[in-house]
């Protein structure tokens, strides 16, 4: 006969075992996320040390995880001309599947990145250069093959839905109930229409999926990763001198995205993005009933100041300061007055779950891990309220963080182009004047020689 003590001991053991098992099954709280984009596999990548020192629990690739296409050199003259109205070959061309795979192997074997992967969950999406071709969209014929290579790079399981769908979009949920973080990663390549079309970025199937994700059970925080900028429309104020990709170049799609976000009533949503080779933080107050942020980190190796000689860095920073912006977050926390950063950088998300309500810190950091721009937000500031929505602007007048760049007065919007063409005109007139003076001097010398 079994004694009551023995039965009690067995029951206690089972209860303790179940309790421990339940505790082990509960996912850990995630409070530190890092992200980045634009990493040339052939370039030095010292920035991984700073990312590792940040101790992220999750790292998010936002595209250009490798540079898989081939970039032809700038040539104005010769047999292969890549710039100018008479260019006869494209600036970029795709490489073979074997070459793409080789470049992914180089990236994955990087010592810094390998150390990061040991203790950090790595997820990601792609942009154009790892998609296979600069600025490419749905017309790119190698997208199916390159999707497999990209997912292999991310160690995506062979039975993953991402390997069976058209595009690499995905959703992840981290943390326990009450402290969950949802990370939605968009694919802005596979279904994207041509740049000048104002067509679709995501395609019908991905739009349906995104709507379902935003209307799914609530989480404390939702991070939406887009390879291209969502809020800033850099091209609206730098054109026709410089054009970059962004949601702003597809106005109907961006409006649809903001409307979907507002209709879902989902709280504490913000964006992270890459692509542009500089870092900044943008804010839009007229999309939902709370401010929506977009933290841009670009790039891990590729950055605008690395593309020009050091003496021109101050010139770039001056033009960044002069570029009109309606969305960029400006403040004393910025390293430079423009609140942009054109050196290698990565982005960070920190959540302090111990405060009530929790506090959120969004930053862009340099190669040493030091912040160059950032914002501190209470999650209570990112909640849907009963107040009237800010979606309508104030009587049609300009509003900071609300009026889009395309709504700026033309003299503000195009001041970079006005300055550039004005300076070019002055230089041209000065050159003409100099040539005239030289010609006049030569004529006088000839006339004097004849008299002699």
pLDDT band at 162 (very low <50, low <70, confident <90, very high): very high
Could you tell me the pLDDT band of residue 1, with boundaries at 50, 70 and 90? very low
Q: Average the pLDDT over 165-189 and give the result.
A: 98
For residue 205, what pLDDT is reported? Answer: 98
Across the range 300-311, mean pLDDT stands at: 95
First to last CA, the chain: 140
pLDDT of residue 393: 44
pLDDT of residue 199: 95
- Mean pLDDT of the region 261-274: 97
Interatomic CA distance for residues 252 and 255, integer angstroms? 5
What does the alpha-carbon distance between residue 302 and residue 222 come to, in Å, rounded to a whole number? 28
Who's near 146: CB < 8 A, 6+ residues apart? 68, 97, 100, 130, 131, 132
Asked whether the whole model's pTM tops 0.95, one would answer no
Decide if pLDDT at 397 tops 70. Answer: no
Does pLDDT of 10 surpass 70?
A: no
Region 147-159: what's the mean pLDDT? Answer: 97
Task: For residue 234, give the nearest of 306, 290, 298, 169 by alpha carbon.
Answer: 298
Binned at pLDDT 50, 70 and 90, residue 113 comes out as very high
- Report the range of poorest mean pLDDT among 135-144, 183-192, 366-375, 402-411: 402-411
| Average of per-residue pLDDT across 193-205 | 95
């Amino acid at each position: 006969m079994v004694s009551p003590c023995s039965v009690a001991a067995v029951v206690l053991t089972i209860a303790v075992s179940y309790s421990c098992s339940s505790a082990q099954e509960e996912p850990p709280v995630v409070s530190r996320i890092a992200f980045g984009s634009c990493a040339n596999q052939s370039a030095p990548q010292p920035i991984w040390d700073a990312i590792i020192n940040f101790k992220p629990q999750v790292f998010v690739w936002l595209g250009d995880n490798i540079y898989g296409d081939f970039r032809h050199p700038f040539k104005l003259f010769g047999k292969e001309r890549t710039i100018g109205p008479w260019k006869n070959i494209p600036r970029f061309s795709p490489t073979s599947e074997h070459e793409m795979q080789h470049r992914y192997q180089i990236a994955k074997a990087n010592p810094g990145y390998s150390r990061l992967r040991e203790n950090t969950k790595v997820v990601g999406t792609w942009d154009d250069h790892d998609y296979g071709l600069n600025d490419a969209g749905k017309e790119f014929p190698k997208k199916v093959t390159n999707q497999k290579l990209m997912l292999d790079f991310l160690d995506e399981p062979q039975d993953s839905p991402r390997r069976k769908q058209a595009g690499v979009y995905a959703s992840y949920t981290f943390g326990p109930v009450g402290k969950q973080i949802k990370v939605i990663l968009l694919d802005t390549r596979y279904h994207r229409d041509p740049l000048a079309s104002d067509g679709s970025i995501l395609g019908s199937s991905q739009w349906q999926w995104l709507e379902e994700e935003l209307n799914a059970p609530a989480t404390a925080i939702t991070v939406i990763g887009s390879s291209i900028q969502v809020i800033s429309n850099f091209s609206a104020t730098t054109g026709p001198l410089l054009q970059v990709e962004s949601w702003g170049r597809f106005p109907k799609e961006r409006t649809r995205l903001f409307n979907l976000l507002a209709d879902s009533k989902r709280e504490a949503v913000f964006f992270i993005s890459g692509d542009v080779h500089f870092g900044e933080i943008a804010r839009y107050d007229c999309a939902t009933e709370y401010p929506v942020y977009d933290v841009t980190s670009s790039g891990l190796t590729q950055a605008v100041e690395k593309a020009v000689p050091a003496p021109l860095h101050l010139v770039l920073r001056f033009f960044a300061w002069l570029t009109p912006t309606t969305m960029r977050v400006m403040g004393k926390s910025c390293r430079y007055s423009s609140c942009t950063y054109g050196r290698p950088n990565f982005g960070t998300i920190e959540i302090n779950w111990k405060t009530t309500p929790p506090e959120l810190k969004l930053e862009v950091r340099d190669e040493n891990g030091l912040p160059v721009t950032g914002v501190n937000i209470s999650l209570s500031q990112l909640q849907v309220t009963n107040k009237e929505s800010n979606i309508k602007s104030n009587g049609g007048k300009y509003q900071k963080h609300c009026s889009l760049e395309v709504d700026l007065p033309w003299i503000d919007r195009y001041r970079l182009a006005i300055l550039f063409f004005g300076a070019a005109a002055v230089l041209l007139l000065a050159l003409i004047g100099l040539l005239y003076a030289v010609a006049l001097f030569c004529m006088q010398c000839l006339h004097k020689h004849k008299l002699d």
